[in-house]
Structures are given as C-alpha cells and as structure tokens.
A and B are shown apart, each in its own frame.
Chain A
C-alpha cells in the first residue's frame, strides 16, 4: 500500500503533538510497534491510528517506524558482512594511493545503520584510521535526521543489536537516565544532510560506496527508477551501490550489474565496452 498524502498529514499531526514524556508504561506498546515493522506500511499505519490513544510516546514510535528505515543496530547483518568481505577489499585496494574513501549512507533514519557501519568498518578495516574517510548520512525527514545527529539512544534502543562489548566501547552513558550517546569510532567523520533522493542529490557529492538502507517498496516504479538514477549519478565510476535486501532486482538498463553475492544486493557499474555490446 502506498503512502498517500492524507496518511502523511495524519502522521505529521501525531508526531507534532507529542510531548517529551518518557513513560515506562509505554514499554510494551513501543516494543509492539517496532516488532511489527515488517508489516506492510499501510497496515501498520492503520493499526497505529486505531490505537492512537495509547499515548504520545506511541506517536513518536509510530512516526519513526513509518518514516525511519531501520530502528535497530546491525539490522542488515548479512548485507553488512557481504560489504565487509566482498566490497571493502576492492575499495581498499583501488583507493590505496589516495587513501580517501567517501561513503554515503542513504536513508539513515535515526542513525542506527550509519553508526553500525562506522563500528563495523572500524573493527574490520583497521587501516582506515590512517585514511581520510568521510561518511555522509542523509535522510529526507528532518526530525529523524536531527535525532540521528544527536546519536542518543534509549536503553531499549541500544540493546537492539549492540553487543555488550560494542556498547562499552562505542557509547557513553548520559547521566540521569537520559540514554546512551554514540561516541566513537568515526563520529567526527560523519556529516549529516537532509536530502530527498527523489529530488536532486548533487549536494551529496560523489561517493565511492553508497549504502541505501531505505527500501523503496512504497514508491511506484517510475519514482523508484528516478530515485535510483539520482543515486547512481553520485556513484564513482568504480564505486559500489548496496541496496536494501527487500529492493526489487535491477535490470541491465540501469547500467549496473549485480555482484555474484547472495547475501546482499551489491551493484557496480557495467564496464563501458560490455554495455555497448549488450545494447
């Protein structure tokens, strides 16, 4: 079910009317909304509106569940593993001369996928600490992006996917139960940008690696193609594009070919000669 403008406006109202009152009693409810994220978006929305007396905290969780792509850390573990083992060695070798790596994390939501990426890169590619690494994290929703930039997560949120060791190493606990703030690694290399991939994304600049966490399941096919085109425009000639696992496969017309990796949808540009022959 596609998101209509009406749905969006009711969401906006819910979101706009929430106050910041963390209440322990909403624990179960919040869990329920997030656990149910794999439901079709339309169904989730309907369920949320029916239950909207459940409290303002719920409105917050609901709006995050609908607009934000992923609210758990290391959610796409298999895709991340494929990125580290199949893509990073290639990028590290082609960029060794300049020691510069530009990553674009598209649809970063409240920041979990971007911080997970930073942690994983730091753990698995230690040489990157001598490199000039920039991570651009973008989302189309300004509220969500503001949360991502703060990098502050509740006890519940940090338990979703963050291992005990990573929690100790990468997060600092704020006083008075205000949650946990992402501290390192690479936090100073991350910049944040509000951009809609359906509009122009030239502000994002060229990237060697584009990781799209957001699935475009609720866009119609032309819009999906347009969005993809915008992303590809920003991809370096020998760069890699990683799409969400739920994304439909791309055809050759896109100018991209899929890497023979099952665990993740990893694409790179078709070399010029090949694309002319096949045309």
Chain B
C-alpha cells in the first residue's frame, strides 16, 4: 500500500502546495484543515508515517494534537513535523516542548521536506541525487 503523509493546514492553498511537494517525493497525501479532523484521520489510518502540522501555538487543539501524538515512543506513532511561519527560538522551544520531531518554516521547499523525511527515516537516504531538471519556478 502506498504510504501517506497527513497534511494539516487551515489553508487549502498551503495543503495543495504541500501535496505537490510530497507527491513529487513519491509519497501519497491526505489532508485535514484542522487538528480535530487530523486526529480523526489518524485514528482511522494509524499506519500514516508522518504528519506535517501547521504550527499554531495559540490554538489549543493544535498543541493538544501534538502532545497526544508524541506521547508514545517514536517507532509506534507518526513523526510530526511542525510547520511555522517564522523560525524563532521561542517557537522552536515551544514545539520541542510539546514533542515535535522536526520544524520547517513555511513555505517549505522540496529539498527541505525531503531532508526532514530522510532524517526521520521515512524516506530512504539518498547520498547523491540525480541531476534534476530546472525548477519550474524559473
């Protein structure tokens, strides 16, 4: 079965971007607009290996979800990569405190997502990546 990454973000456009990035790495996605919906999906599909979670420290549900998810040992639960608007020391400390495995700043690039998934053991380490075509953004 294809492995799925759960994308949690309030904005559809952000989820769409995430979907394109994750699909390009050979993984499938499913999406949730908020932490509650995400929790339901995770309960229905416990084999999901990773969650890209929009980081909203002011949102109780979001912090709860992160804490609930990361209570159990790393091998028996999905990895959680929190995605925040800014990379800053207090945000990082809060995310670490709540149990986050990784942090990415939005908007994330394909390479950063790939590297984080590799570090977390979800994608296999590729030492030398084949030469890629020029990014379409150019």
Q: Does B105 interact with chain A (Cβ within 8 Å)?
A: yes
Instruction: Choose from A36, A159, A161 the contact partner of B87 (Cβ within 8 Å).
Output: A159
Residue of B nearest to A43 (CB): B131
The count of residues in chain B whose C-beta lies closer than 8 Å to any C-beta of chain A is 32
* In contact, B112 and A160 (Cβ under 8 angstroms): yes
Chain A residue at smallest Cβ distance from B95:
A164
CB-based contact B92/A167 at 8 Å: yes
A42-87 interface (Cβ within 8 A of B) = 47, 51, 72, 76-79
Sorting the interface of chain A by its residue count into under 10, 10 to 19, 20 to 34 or 35 or more gives 20 to 34
Instruction: Tell me if B127 and A35 are in contact (CB < 8 A).
Output: no
Chain A's interface: helix, strand, loop or mixed, by majority? helix
Contact code string B108-135 (vs A, CB < 8 Å = 1, else 0)? 0111100100110000010111111011
- Residues of chain A within 8 A of B109, CB atoms compared: 31, 35
B5 in the interface (beta carbon within 8 A): no
Residues of B within 8 A of A32 (CB): 134-135, 137-138
Residues 31 to 71 of chain B near chain A (Cβ within 8 Å): none
Interface string of B70-94 (1 = CB under 8 A from A): 0000000000000000111100110
Q: Which residues of B contact A168 (CB under 8 A)?
A: 89, 92-93, 96
Q: Which of A29, A160, A173 contacts B111 (CB 8 A)?
A: A160
Measured between alpha carbons, how far is A155 from B89 in the docked complex, in Å? 11
Inter-chain contact A36/B102, CB cutoff 8 Å: no
For A77, the closest partner residue in chain B by CB is B125
Distance of A156 Cα from B87 Cα, bound (Å): 9
Quick check: is A189 within 8 A (CB to CB) of the other chain?
no
**A 148-182 binary contact with B (CB < 8 Å = 1; else 0):** 00000001101111011101100011000000000
Q: Which residues from chain A contact B118 at a C-beta distance below 8 Å?
A: 77
Please state if A165 and B96 are interface contacts (CB–CB under 8 Å). Answer: yes
Name the one of A35, A77, A161, A172 contacting B132, with C-beta atoms under 8 angstroms: A35
In the complex, B6 has a CB within 8 A of chain A:
no
Cα separation A101 to B109 with both chains bound (whole Å): 39
Residues of B within 8 A of A155 (CB): 86-87, 105
Q: Which residues of B contact A160 (CB under 8 A)?
A: 111-112, 115
How far, in whole Å, are A168 and B118 apart by their CA atoms in the complex?
20
Complex Cα–Cα for A130 and B44 (A): 51
Partner of A163 from B93, B102, B138 at Cβ < 8 Å: B102
**Inter-chain contacts of A36 with B (CB < 8 A):** 132, 134-135
What residues on A are CB-neighbors of B95 within 8 Å? Answer: 164
State A81–B88 Cα separation when bound (angstroms): 29
Of the candidates A51, A76, A167, A246, the one having the most CB atoms from chain B within 10 angstroms of its own CB is A167
Can you add 12 more A-B contacts, CB < 8 Å, to A155-B87, A159-B103?
A: A28-B138, A35-B111, A36-B134, A38-B129, A76-B127, A78-B127, A159-B112, A160-B112, A163-B102, A163-B119, A164-B102, A173-B89
9 contacting pairs across A/B (C-beta < 8 A): A35-B111, A35-B135, A76-B127, A155-B86, A155-B105, A156-B105, A164-B96, A168-B92, A245-B128
Chain B residues at the A interface, C-beta cutoff of 8 Å: 86-89, 92-93, 95-96, 100-105, 109-112, 115, 118-119, 125, 127-132, 134-135, 137-138
Q: Which 5 A-B pairs have the closest CB atoms?
A: A155-B87, A173-B89, A164-B103, A32-B135, A28-B137
